[in-house]
Structure 1
């Protein structure tokens, strides 16, 4: 069995998608449709920068999605591949869940781009700059990270935001609480606690205003049953019902990205092959969680041709 995977924020880089657009009209069509949907030249920012503009959450989220979907679209159109025939599940990390749903045709491309633009804006606006923070705890399992967060909160918000597996858990919340958690981590035997250069504390209760904004937007958006089920971040379980998908995406804004559990659940369901589109971020994570998995990251035209041949 096989799963197609889609990366999250942090995988953006100036130049992303440029070679693909130069090589394939199908990739260019994706970038043009996203530009039209957003009313901006996002493809130019992706190709040329500046990096500060691309890193803005409201740009990074639709850009990462567009790059991943362009890669998939080239595979489908030039490789003659039908997603529903070649994969059993889709999954994405945080914003990548939207890319996964777009890949499985639950959302059309323009809708996905607009939702992610709004999601980025709403997440950025939810918390004043500097009031929140995130940190990566390396060498901590999820239970230890949760215990550290509980002890560090002291009436503030401090939550495990991303359970990435392989002993990496990202925490999020009020800046002072996250700093307390980092200090506690050293006492509790965590190998390293690294502050992350993020603009907002994602996937914690401070994001509730953004969750409310997404609930309104998703209620008005057309959501179709996906061609294959999506493993949802907040449940680490497959979902196919459109109303359920809406609810899960709203909960995802403030909830933990349960990536380790998602991969473990896919592996337990019989998924042995994992293909990441648009970056080389999730592949290494999967190998740390399921060392015997077959992993492939697809970024370039050569990668796409190799995948088409393998499928």
Structure 2
């Protein structure tokens, strides 16, 4: 069995998608459709920068999605690969869940781009810059990370945001609490703790204003049943019902990304082949979570051609 998986924030880089667009009309169509949906040339920002603008959450989220969907469309239109025939499940990390839903036909591309632009803006606006923070705890599993967060909270928000893999958990919350967590992490058994260069504390209760904004936006869009089930971040379980998908996307804004559990659940369901489209971060996580699984990252035209031969 096979799952197509889609990356989250952090995989953006100036130049993303440029070579693919130069080589493929199918990729250019995706970037043009996203540009039209947003009413601006996001594709130019992706290709040329400046980097500080691309790093803004409101730009990075639709850009990462567009890049991954461009890879998928080249696979489909030029490689003759049909997702429904080659994938048993899809999943994505945080914003990647929207990409997965778009890939599986639950959301159309223009709607996905607009939702992610709004999601990025709402998450940025939810907490004033400087008041929130996130930190990666390396060499810490979920139990250690939870203990560190609890000890550092001292009445402030400090929670696990991303359970990425057995050796990397990300925490999120009020800046002072996160800084305390970084200071005490080694005492609680983590190898290292480092503040992340993010502009807001994602996936924690401080994001409630963004969750409210997404609830309103998602209520107004059509969601179809996906071609294959989507593993949801907040449940680490497959979902196909459109109303459930809508509710879980709202919950995801403040909830923990249960990526480690999602990969384990897919592996336990029989998935042995994980194909990451549009990034090179999740493949490494998959190998740390399920060492017996095969993980392939597909970004370039060469990657796509190799995958077509393998499938």
Q: Sort the TM-score into its range (normalised by shorter chain).
A: over 0.9
Aligned to 2:16: 16
Indicate the SS of the match to 2:29.
helix
Structure 2: 5+ residue stretches without partners? none
Indicate the SS of the match to 1:257.
coil
Aligned to 1:203: 203
Aligned to 1:281: 281
Deviations 1:64-122 (A, max 9, x none): 00000000000000011111000000000000000000000000000000000000000
- Paired with 2:261 and 2:282, the residues of 1 have a C-alpha distance of 14
Aligned to 2:226: 226
- Paired with 1:175 and 1:75, the residues of 2 have a C-alpha distance of 42
Deviations 1:205-264 (A, max 9, x none): 000000000000000011000000000000000000000000110000000000000000
Deviations 1:2-30 (A, max 9, x none): 00000000000000000000000000000
Aligned to 1:308: 308
1:150-189 counterparts in 2 under 5 A?
A: 150-189=150-189
Contact kept? 2:89, 2:230, Cα under 8 Å: yes
The yes-or-no answer on 1:297 pairing with 2:289 is no
- Paired with 1:160 and 1:166, the residues of 2 have a C-alpha distance of 14
- Paired with 1:213 and 1:278, the residues of 2 have a C-alpha distance of 27
Contact kept? 2:92, 2:99, Cα under 8 Å: yes
1:1-311 counterparts in 2 under 5 A?
A: 1-311=1-311
Superposed displacement of residue 184, structure 1: 1.9
Deviations 1:143-186 (A, max 9, x none): 11112111211111000000011310000000001111112212
Indicate the SS of the match to 1:105.
coil
Contact kept? 2:144, 2:189, Cα under 8 Å: no
* TM-score normalized with structure 2 length: 0.99
Structure 1: 5+ residue stretches without partners? none
Aligned length: 311
- Runs of 4 or more, structure 1, over 4 Å off, are none
- Paired with 2:122 and 2:135, the residues of 1 have a C-alpha distance of 21
